[in-house]
Structure 1
């Protein structure tokens, strides 16, 4: 028990049982802290259950790019495109889009890429080490990824991004002809080139990984409470979490890792964080739908095809529509139709559709650090589509802050107050 702590006060409470929350719980449990995780659904039942399963340590480029606002009209008129905006949601989204435009300036982009690169360099050894300690390292597939292009012009347009990765020390190789065909047999002839990233990794199933890491945390003493946190308040001695059933929980330390819902709790603590929701869709086909060698990335169409132990997952794309509008599963259908065009022998029958909420900041960097008004409340959210990839790096940084040691990397770029 911490000094001055009441006997009925929890030592550390984490709101959110997605991949980030449970990894943070595992890190803190490893060093002897008593951790309670609260979630209204369950362990990895939300967005962390249905993601594409990539450990995308080479994905250091932000969503913001030169001329990004010029693309918005196209996002509005194409509801099934790689990027789309629900027209009714545009007024609410406008301030976030303005911040996205500011994040697309050359100097801001360079800072973002450097910060993302540092976080990824931390993320890879931390995640692989944690999985080893949790005895689930066998859930990692190390087949690399293949990003595909339908023309030399499309490849040339992608070269600045590959040059940025090269400067960051990320290995890759452009493939054509027989090399491309061998890398993934059965592709449609429309693809003239591809970029192979050998260091790209995927997992057997993201929900299985999350559950494996949670069971490790449980063996170390972590506990779970199935409940909905509706409000939080902070004090000099800790924080109070108000639950939907009217009860409250006192915590000496509170960590908010509630994904796309996190900013609602942060606002009550004085932090107005511009968090938006990239609604992602997918279809998971049965095992045996195709002999997929590695994750295929169709960047021009905004989706990926991933081999999982539980099937083949076809998903991605970005839809800005907030947390409350109903899903548009025609987006899943559109990706499945394209996947059949790109992989003619793919069996598209028997699939399961899904939608999840990716918590996204305008600069594509997560929010990691203390609340404005209290050092007893910490934030760990806003990872966009990189929650699985960056969860262990976030766990390490949050642990550094809790323990009071110098962070493993500079956390300035991830400050909740940077906005």
Structure 2
């Protein structure tokens, strides 16, 4: 791309957040360049669980996690793991995570997530309508499952908070549980059905369909790594890996777990960490799965996709480049087979990818301290797909100088 080329907005990162933002800005009449070091939607946007988890308003950072985390952390195959060699570098993030889990912060974080997810639900409906992708979305809800009455009762305070925020919750057992998902183990005695939960048949195909719609609106895709962002009074110069430069009125940083280094180069030292997730995608027909199943005590979900049955989840705090430990994927598959006795485990494809996670479970959405012309939009953790359309709307409003649709104070970069 020639050095003298200029656009209204340059977006760094072509995951689902960057792609949705590119579409929304282009639809608003802005010229947009979408810059990606790899193929588009080829990281977490490829291998996620495919959920529009609008009811998921309870932060991972919560008082309940304080009781579970110590046990999880000493289990190398547990739902939350830090390899011993990684622990010193992850300790500052972990300490912030524990502070964010205190009861006094829970209400504010829950309210912020509820507002963002409500906006996400309406904005996703608008986005899928405008891009013709509504047929890719399934509105068949999700089922959260419990192995004991005590485990279910421990979840009730969170569900009460969710219901107060407008989440529709149905507590189920017995015949109703079997109706929602036949073939489950008798060890699963209680469930919570979430009818507002939606899924997409193939998360990467959905992201690429949005990208096609964005390109039809004039968005240019640039394959390059951004080496440097240099804002000034009139805009931002982005230096690309090949030596070229791109000039933009605004830059949006949405490069997932790679965002931290670029933000730090601007003086915004934000505690975003790579949170690595694992999954196995089994062939179609591996189980007669009616909807997404959630196993909260074990940190994994099972999702029906067009490409098969995806068993995945877990959180591993480690460098992006650390070799994958696929024992974690196999451990989740073992557990899934125990809860779903008819599951056919042959022919699975294993995957590992990194999500960008913040210690307080809230994304970063707001202007950089270095310049109002640089906007951060990253750190969505497990909810990148869920919150992509809302984030696109909020970033677009910031670029256009409009009042945000919701209060973005809880997501401001300077909160740390």
Same fold at TM > 0.5: yes
2:277 to 272, 280, 292: 280
Which stretches of structure 1, 4 residues or more, deviate above 6 A after TM superposition? none
Q: How far is the alpha carbon of 1:414 from its aligned partner?
A: 0.6
1:266 aligns with 2:275: no
The residue correspondences of 1:5-404 to structure 2 (distance < 5 A) are 8-66=5-63, 68-69=65-66, 71-404=68-401
Q: Does the alignment pair 1:415 with 2:412?
A: yes
Would the aligned equivalents of 2:136 and 2:200 in 1 still touch at CA under 8 Å? yes
The answer to which of 238-247 and 212-221 deviates more is 238-247
| Secondary structure of 2:187's aligned partner | coil
Residues 4 and 246 in structure 2, CA contact (< 8 A), matched pair in contact too? no
* Bigger mean CA deviation after superposition, 265-274 or 104-113: 104-113
Aligned length: 414
Q: TM-score, normalised by structure 2?
A: 0.97
TM-score, structure 1 normalization: 0.97
1:270 offset after TM fit, Å? 1.1
Residue by residue, what CA displacement relative to the aligned partner does 1:221-252 show, whole Å, maximum 9, x if unpaired?
00101111122221112112222223322222
Contact 2:66 2:101 in 1 (8 A): no
Q: State how far apart, in whole Å, the 1-side matches of 2:354 and 2:20 are.
A: 19
How many Å separate the matches in 1 of 2:318 and 2:239? Answer: 28
The answer to whether the 8 Å contact 2:142/2:193 transfers is yes
Structure 2 segments unaligned to the other structure (5+ residues): none
Shift of 1:12: 1.1
CA distance in 2 between counterparts of 1:67 and 1:346 reads: 31
Q: How much does 1:7 deviate? A: 5.9
C-alpha deviation, 1:68, in angstroms: 4.1
Distance 1:173 1:183, change over 3 A: same
Using the alignment, how far apart are the partners of 1:172 and 1:72 within structure 2? 26
Q: What do residues 226-283 of structure 1 show as CA deviations (whole Å, max 9, x unaligned)?
A: 1111222211121122222233222221100000110110011111101112100001
Task: Tell me the distance in 2 between the aligned counterparts of 1:72 and 1:124.
Answer: 30
Contact persistence 1:289–1:346 (CA under 8 A): yes
Q: In the aligned structure 2, how far is the partner of 1:68 from the partner of 1:288?
A: 35
**Contact 1:75–1:85 (CA under 8 A) maintained in structure 2:** no
CA distance in 2: counterparts of 1:322 and 1:87, whole angstroms: 12
CA distance in 2, matches of 1:120, 1:77: 33
